[in-house]
Structure 1
Amino acid sequence: GRSVDETLGLTYWEITPDKYQEQEQLQLRFLEEKGSYGPYEKEYIHKDGSLVPVRLSGMLVEQKGERFIWSSVEDISALHQASMLERRLRQIFEYSYEEFYLFDGESLRFIQVSRGALDNLGYGPEEIEALTPLDLKTDYTPKDFAKLIAPLRHGKQPLLVFETRHRRKDGSFYPVEVRLQYSKEQGRSFFFAMIVDLTERRRIEKELADHRAHLEALVVQRTAQLEVANRELEAFSYSVSHDLRAPLRAIDGFSLALMEDYGQQPDETALDFLQRIRGGAQKMSQLIDDLLQLSRINKGELKWMPVDLAILAASVWEELQAVEPQREVELILGENLEVEGDPRQLRILLNNLLGNAWKFTSRKAQGRVVFERDHDDPSVFTIADNGAGFDMRYVDKLFGAFQRLHRTTEFPGTGVGLAIVQRIIHRHGGRIWAKGEVGHGATFYFSLGVGEVTQTRPLQENERGAYHA
């Protein structure tokens, strides 16, 4: 690390560490006795203070009555580093419980094998040196193995990974993953292999496969049980639809006949009782209708197709207006309400949501309902009204069957509509939630969780925008 001028100004002892003093004195005696010394190894002090390993040899030269020492100095830093790496590699092989193999690139005989490999195979160090990978990988013929490692030999790929099995000394086999690399140094070629024992992985894979098969069998069993339960439910629904409706129709019909035919004879109390009987029968009939509709929501496959919710909403609104044409309620439809879904179920959804908005704005002089996409999240739809609203403390009850947040004397209903809406939303992969304030209206938010189509039939001018009763 010094220039020629800097070196000429130094003595031999100034560039030699003190620990080599005794060794240097010995080499000088050799020089006096034999006229030469070395070769031997030592270290020089570099200009930056580090030590540089060197190999020295020299002789005594006399010229014109003066004696000189001629020395040959070789920097062996690279050799030392290689030696250090070799020692570390030997330590890795000697003490590692992983499976490492180093074998000759031509003869394929093992040069060095790790402790972990020896323990797993059952061979001793001397025994393994007489073997090749083909003694372990008995599924390969010499020709097959040569073909397998050819891409490494020819430099076509740096790493070869494959799975096979190894045979132990006792004849038993275990599955392995092999990671093989090829190297050529100073005219000699080597293969280095790192082996992963797959026994535990295969055991876990088998357990998972058995567990999966068990689950699949359970699914088949549960599906069969569910089909039986569904058939029983259908039979019950048929019974509800026909057997219960008949007495209800009789109660309502005879009550109406009494009121019409003998309306002058009963007093007001009797007429009130008859009216209540009719009201109860009609309410029960409506409840049966809603229950049947709720039970049918999950039946059958959805028929996916492009649907413009604005067109459906306009149709639903017209039906509501036809029932109560005297009411002043405005419906405002936003842009881009096209989705993909089952049009029949989506109409039921809007029947319930818009029907609720219509019902709960009945006490407003001027009702207002807005159906649009959410401004913050366009994947969400909102239906907001300025009606009666609800207390947010009871929002968890909103979508449960038969749950009502208002008395029937205030707003009629069975408490099933929003449960139907939630089921339809869930079948379409979406979710629904709501916010409200008593006396200040409610807003229902829902997403359908399906890919929305970009365009369906556009609304005509008389179908889009505000609707008035």
Structure 2
Amino acid sequence: MERKPLLVSVVLLALVMMGSVAFISWESVSSFARREELVSHSYLIMTNINRMLSFLEDEETGERGYFITGSSSYLTPYSEAIKRSRNEILLLKNLTRDDPFQQKNLDELQSLSERRLTYLKAGVSIRQKYRTPDPEQSLLIMDLAKSDMDRIRSVIKRMRSEESLRVANYRKESDLHSDRVHRVILAGYLLASAMIMISLAFLFRELSAHERAERENRRLTREYEDLYDYAPCGYHSIDKNGLMVRINKTELGWLGYEAHEVVGVKHYHEFMTPASREVYEREFDRFKESGMVRDVEFEFVRKDGSHFWALSNATAIRDLKGGFLLSRSVLIDITDRIRDRKVILDLNDLLSSHAKELEEKNKELEGFTYSVSHDLRSPLRAIDGFSRILMEDYGKGLDREAMRLLGIVRENTARMSQLIDDLLTLSRMGKAPLEKRWVDMTSLAKKAVGEVGVVSSFSGSILVGDLPRAFGDSSLLFQVFLNLLSNSVKFTQKTESPRISVEGQKRDGEVVYSISDNGEGFEMKYYKKLFGVFQRLHSQEDFPGTGVGLAIVHRIVSRHGGRVWAVGKPKEGATFFFSIPVPLVPEDDQETFSGRSLETATMDTREDAS
């Protein structure tokens, strides 16, 4: 009787112990499963972070490739990378929607990414607009983009560290909990065999869950290794002595080696040319101290002896005491970029050589022009003077035909003198420095109208509209108006009611001005002859002139970076157009610019705008 209560007590105690063991075991399995889900979730977040960083680097690679080479083939991966990086940020926001810390990091990352993208797009736009971009402006944009990229990497590093810390905490908690469960199961073994069997059942369930988690971990590990090995860039790690301890298959393919020929066998510098080896040895000591290296170019030698160039970026992995353990290095193949850079430098050298030759030839031509004009003026003055003496002093003794011939001589000497003056003017237009400022084109055109009216006694009407202001040399732009108006006046002299109008408007980054008349007009098939030196579409008897005036207009407008063109019909008149580019100089800025100062002002304005 006394044993029965004891037995019942033991049974009850055993049941309580088995229930406790069962409950603890069940809670352990559930907790472990929850932690494994959290671990998987953290690994998934880190995977997407790595993919997003890869896409952001692809953006930069595509933009730099296009900026350096001008090849549109870089724009396709560039655009694709933009779309994918944005998608990855949205996916990460969804994955961390219940995580305020990571949401804050992602908001900062999204802001930095969009701002950096603005700089990349500005680089692409400048490269599309200018065949040879300004080096200072290009360097500014690249520095801004690089600064944001460094901050992006800092945010990504912070996010990775947070997830890594969480994974470590989850593992630690799982280990502590597992130890406690084993002690409870051991106690159950000592109390009763039934409890042991029940405990074994629960342990089997726990081990099964653990095995599933391990299988999932192995699967994820294989995926990470596949991503590592077949990434579009090279990955490797070296120890403090520069020995290769890990390398992906992409980089092995570039070098032409197998993994067993490299890992633990060769040092990093053994793959480099002597010149790159010197750079590496100098930079490696700094890298071990600073823990980071950015955009260092190395030339590598493949196993077959051929060479290729790569851009190296690396960060250091340190031990708990801060000592250098391994590098985490990334290589980007820039062989094509280096080759294109060499081609560009060679072309620049060739252009500089040609420019120097052209400058020397222009100086010779200027000297020749001056010499010829000076040497021609003396005999022309003599011919004209003696012809005038003959007509004035001996005219009574000459018949009408002789006087007519002397008149023709004087007319042609005057024409020759005017031709020499026009040639000198044309020469000066090509070498005079431009003093650019904002010019009131309406006042300038009206001034030219007044001068044309005084010289030509024009009897028709000339209407000057409200013209947009232009940025240029006021004296040279006045010469443009003067020549074009004189041209219209000349070719309307046989028109019954001559009309000339001057108009202007802004369109697509330039200001276009037009001078229209209802005069003689011209055949469009002869259009290309209009702006050539000595090119005339009408006879000297019908419309006198030297054939240099429109060539002067073409040269002045070209020096301003603009265009000149015309349309017309015979007997219906003609319209001459010229355009002046609109710079990024505020219209209320009255400072005068010339040469390099204008480029600097333009770049400073763009910096302010950005």
Alpha-carbon deviations, 1:46-97, whole Å to 9, x = none?
A: xxxxxxxxxxxxxxxx99xxxxx96754445543332123335556777899
Q: 1:415 aligns with which of 517, 528, 547?
A: 547
For 1:456 and 1:113, how far apart are their aligned partners in 2?
59
Q: 2:408 is matched by which residue type in structure 1? A: R
**What are the within-5 Å matches in structure 2 for residues 185-200 of structure 1?**
193-196=328-331, 200=335
Q: 1:397 aligns with which of 529, 535, 538?
A: 529
For 2:413 and 2:492, how far apart are their aligned partners in 1?
27
Q: 2:556 aligns with which of 424, 429, 433?
A: 424
Work out whether 1:368 is the aligned partner of 2:499.
yes
Structure 1 residues without counterparts, runs of 5 or longer: 1-61, 64-68, 150-159, 185-189, 458-469
Work out whether 1:288 is the aligned partner of 2:428.
no
Structure 2 residues without counterparts, runs of 5 or longer: 1-192, 195-199, 272-279, 320-324, 591-610
**Correspondence for 2:375:** 243
Contact 2:314–2:329, Cα closer than 8 Å, also in 1: yes
For 1:92 and 1:371, how far apart are their aligned partners in 2?
67
Contact 2:564–2:579, Cα closer than 8 Å, also in 1: yes
For 2:310 and 2:453, how far apart are their aligned partners in 1?
75
**What are the within-5 Å matches in structure 2 for residues 49-448 of structure 1?**
72-73=204-205, 74-75=208-209, 77-89=212-224, 99-101=234-236, 112-115=246-249, 120=255, 125=260, 128=263, 145=288, 147-148=290-291, 161=294, 163=296, 177-180=312-315, 193-196=328-331, 200=335, 204=339, 207=342, 211=346, 214-215=349-350, 218=353, 223=356, 225-325=357-457, 327-374=458-505, 379-448=511-580
For 1:228 and 1:166, how far apart are their aligned partners in 2?
40
For 2:501 and 2:589, how far apart are their aligned partners in 1?
21
Alpha-carbon deviations, 1:18-49, whole Å to 9, x = none?
A: xxxxxxxxxxxxxxxxxxxxxxxxxxxxxxxx
Q: 2:531 is matched by which residue type in structure 1? A: F
Contact 1:337–1:372, Cα closer than 8 Å, also in 2: no
* Structure 1 residue 270 displacement after superposition: 2.5
* Structure 1 residue 346 displacement after superposition: 1.9
For 1:390 and 1:251, how far apart are their aligned partners in 2?
36
* Structure 1 residue 342 displacement after superposition: 1.9
Contact 2:438–2:587, Cα closer than 8 Å, also in 1: no
Q: 1:114 is matched by which residue type in structure 2? A: N
Structure (1/2) with the larger helix percentage: 2
Q: 1:331 is matched by which residue type in structure 2? A: I
**Correspondence for 1:42:** none
Alpha-carbon deviations, 1:134-167, whole Å to 9, x = none?
A: 9997657889626516xxxxxxxxxx75548799
For 2:367 and 2:237, how far apart are their aligned partners in 1?
74
Contact 2:470–2:511, Cα closer than 8 Å, also in 1: no
Contact 1:180–1:192, Cα closer than 8 Å, also in 2: yes
> Cα distance 1:365–1:242, how it changes in 2: closer, same or farther (>3 A)?
same
Larger radius of gyration: 1
Aligned residue pair count = 370
Q: 1:248 is matched by which residue type in structure 2? A: L
**TM-score (normalizing by structure 1):** 0.63
Contact 1:302–1:341, Cα closer than 8 Å, also in 2: yes
For 1:425 and 1:404, how far apart are their aligned partners in 2?
20
* Structure 1 residue 126 displacement after superposition: 9.7
For 2:507 and 2:344, how far apart are their aligned partners in 1?
45
For 2:297 and 2:364, how far apart are their aligned partners in 1?
55
* Structure 1 residue 133 displacement after superposition: 8.9
* Structure 1 residue 335 displacement after superposition: 1.3
Greater alpha carbon shift after TM alignment, 260-269 vs 414-423 = 260-269
Alpha-carbon deviations, 1:173-206, whole Å to 9, x = none?
A: 997613459799xxxxx97835327694796488
Alpha-carbon deviations, 1:187-230, whole Å to 9, x = none?
A: xxx978353276947964884587368447725xx52x445434
Contact 1:93–1:113, Cα closer than 8 Å, also in 2: no
> Cα distance 1:88–1:404, how it changes in 2: closer, same or farther (>3 A)?
same
Q: 1:86 is matched by which residue type in structure 2? A: T
Contact 2:310–2:335, Cα closer than 8 Å, also in 1: no
**Correspondence for 2:105:** none
For 1:241 and 1:131, how far apart are their aligned partners in 2?
76
For 2:447 and 2:473, how far apart are their aligned partners in 1?
16
> Cα distance 1:193–1:321, how it changes in 2: closer, same or farther (>3 A)?
same
For 2:284 and 2:505, how far apart are their aligned partners in 1?
69
For 1:242 and 1:167, how far apart are their aligned partners in 2?
64
For 1:143 and 1:239, how far apart are their aligned partners in 2?
65
**TM-score (normalizing by structure 2):** 0.50
Contact 2:291–2:316, Cα closer than 8 Å, also in 1: no
> Cα distance 1:123–1:309, how it changes in 2: closer, same or farther (>3 A)?
closer
Q: 2:330 is matched by which residue type in structure 1? A: I
Q: 2:424 is matched by which residue type in structure 1? A: L
Q: 1:316 is matched by which residue type in structure 2? A: A
* Structure 1 residue 443 displacement after superposition: 0.6
Contact 1:429–1:450, Cα closer than 8 Å, also in 2: no
For 2:407 and 2:383, how far apart are their aligned partners in 1?
11
Q: 1:145 is matched by which residue type in structure 2? A: K
Q: 1:371 is matched by which residue type in structure 2? A: V
* Structure 1 residue 255 displacement after superposition: 2.4
Contact 1:383–1:444, Cα closer than 8 Å, also in 2: yes
Contact 2:314–2:330, Cα closer than 8 Å, also in 1: yes
**Correspondence for 1:463:** none
**Correspondence for 1:30:** none
For 2:375 and 2:269, how far apart are their aligned partners in 1?
81
For 2:228 and 2:586, how far apart are their aligned partners in 1?
63
For 1:231 and 1:131, how far apart are their aligned partners in 2?
61
